[in-house]
């Protein structure tokens, strides 16, 4: 049952980053490339019509995580308390930026909420990437120092950053040079994804320009990916062990690579949906490759005294996992129906749909 719930939660989280990821990306594109009011309005609409339904998947993943892996849930929500509060405020400002923009026609009012939408989208992408960087880097479980653990083995606490800004220190912070690299990969990936979404769903005047932007960002993404693989070996020399022992896991990096290659043909693709599919492959391949590299751990320990948190030592009892299964099936069906109905009602270009007035 532990493996089933691990895969289920991983799928739900991946769907969240695919769906809300294009909202984040649209915000980044809006911040840096939307200059005309018409483009700003339609790009805002491309995110605003969908953001609330997309975030249902995050709520579902959080609920499943609390039910299936309560020890892990308790550990990360205490250890990552500061960045989680920051993420919460960013989600709030992004949402009210979308919802408040169209309430008044004053330009200063629109500019304020445009910046709230764009900056919060950029920082959310960065912080979610940094969060992934912390997961694959590991943390000092138990606060181990001088031969003793400061608290229980499955707890930890991280400052936002450590004075050394290094992932190799005994007490690393949430932000260091390694997690910043992963954060930048997330920003570039979601910017590409958001640009593909804007091209797919709108007739924005910058759509042609966005194809060139995607091509250039993809070059940067390839460079950052290579850099991350090199430094990851430096931070964790055993990071590729799982792929050596279980060759079938190579499928996940291959999905990521296929997405990268496909994006280089963005200017030649005849159907707009293909670009969105390729950026989706990058997201799916990136998340699954990262999780596969540390499996069965879900939060590695950077010290030898306290074992890593895994899907087995953090899971709820089998009875609880079994009882929750029937309720989860009902819940997932409701979410999928909600998702399909909304996408059906808002299929095609959204330029003429009403939002924010």
Give the DSSP letter string of 39-66. HHHHHHHHHHTTHHHHTHHHHHHHHHHH
Residue at 354 is within a domain: no
- pLDDT in the model for residue 213: 94
Percent of the chain predicted with pLDDT > 90: 37
CA atoms 8, 262, 46, 48: torsion sign: positive
Question: Exposed, middle or buried: residue 335 (CB in 10 Å: 0-12, 13-18, 19+)?
Answer: middle
Report which secondary-structure segment, H or E, holds 166.
none
Summarised one tens digit per residue, pLDDT across range 234-279 is: 888 888 888 988 999 999 999 999 999 999 999 888 888 999 999 9
pLDDT tier at 356 (50, 70, 90 boundaries)?
Answer: low
Cα 338 vs. chain centroid, distance in angstroms?
22
Counting the structural domains of the chain, the total is 1
Residue at 355 is within a domain: no
Summarised one tens digit per residue, pLDDT across range 271-312 is: 889 999 999 999 999 999 999 999 888 989 888 888 888 989
pLDDT tier at 355 (50, 70, 90 boundaries)?
Answer: low
Angle at 82 between CA 48 and CA 159, to 5 degrees: 140
Angle at 99 between CA 114 and CA 106, to 5 degrees: 55
For the cut 60, the answer to whether the pLDDT of residue 357 exceeds it is no
- pLDDT in the model for residue 37: 81
Average pLDDT rounded to a whole number, residues 47-68:
84
Average pLDDT rounded to a whole number, residues 74-94:
89
- pLDDT in the model for residue 341: 85
Residue at 357 is within a domain: no
Of 294, 215, 300, 226, nearest to 256 by C-alpha is 226
Contacts of 17 (CB under 8 A, 6+ apart): 128, 283, 287
Residue at 11 is within a domain: yes
Summarised one tens digit per residue, pLDDT across range 167-196 is: 888 888 899 999 999 999 999 999 999 999
Average pLDDT rounded to a whole number, residues 3-19:
91
Average pLDDT rounded to a whole number, residues 15-23:
91
Range of the domain at 26: 2-345
- pLDDT in the model for residue 304: 81
Residue at 112 is within a domain: yes
Mean predicted lDDT score pLDDT of the chain: 88
- pLDDT in the model for residue 111: 82
């Amino acid at each position: 049952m532990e493996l089933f719930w691990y895969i289920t939660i991983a799928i739900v989280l991946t769907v969240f980053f695919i769906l809300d990821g294009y909202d984040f990306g649209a915000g980044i594109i809006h911040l840096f490339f939307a200059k005309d009011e018409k483009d700003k309005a339609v790009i805002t609409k491309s995110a605003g019509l969908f953001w609330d339904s997309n975030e249902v998947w995050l709520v579902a993943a959080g609920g499943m995580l609390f039910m299936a892996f309560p020890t892990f849930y308790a550990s990360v929500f205490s250890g990552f308390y500061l960045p989680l509060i920051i993420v919460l405020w960013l989600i709030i400002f992004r949402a009210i930026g979308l919802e408040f923009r169209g309430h008044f026609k004053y330009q200063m009012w629109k500019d304020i909420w445009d910046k709230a939408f764009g900056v919060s989208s950029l920082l959310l992408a960065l912080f979610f990437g940094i969060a992934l960087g912390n997961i694959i880097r590991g943390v000092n479980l138990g606060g181990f120092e001088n031969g003793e653990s400061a608290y229980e083995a499955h707890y930890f606490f991280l400052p936002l950053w450590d004075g050394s800004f290094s992932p190799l220190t005994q007490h690393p912070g949430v932000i260091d040079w390694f997690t910043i690299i992963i954060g930048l990969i997330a920003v570039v990936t979601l910017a590409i994804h958001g640009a593909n979404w804007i091209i797919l769903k709108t007739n924005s005047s910058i759509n042609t320009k966005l194809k060139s932007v995607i091509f250039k960002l993809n070059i940067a993404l390839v460079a950052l990916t290579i850099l991350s693989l090199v430094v990851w070996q430096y931070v964790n020399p055993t990071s590729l062990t799982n792929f050596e022992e279980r060759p079938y896991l190579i499928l996940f990096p291959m999905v990521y690579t296929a997405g990268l290659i496909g994006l280089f043909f963005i200017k030649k693709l005849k159907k707009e949906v293909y670009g969105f599919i390729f950026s989706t492959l990058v997201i799916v391949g990136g998340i699954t490759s990262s999780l596969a590299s540390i499996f069965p751990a879900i939060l590695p320990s950077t010290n030898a005294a306290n074992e890593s948190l895994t899907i087995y030592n953090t899971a709820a009892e089998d009875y609880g996992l079994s009882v929750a299964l029937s309720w989860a099936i009902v819940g997932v069906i409701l979410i999928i129906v909600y998702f399909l109905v909304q996408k059906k009602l808002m299929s095609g270009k959204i330029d003429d749909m009403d939002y924010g007035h």
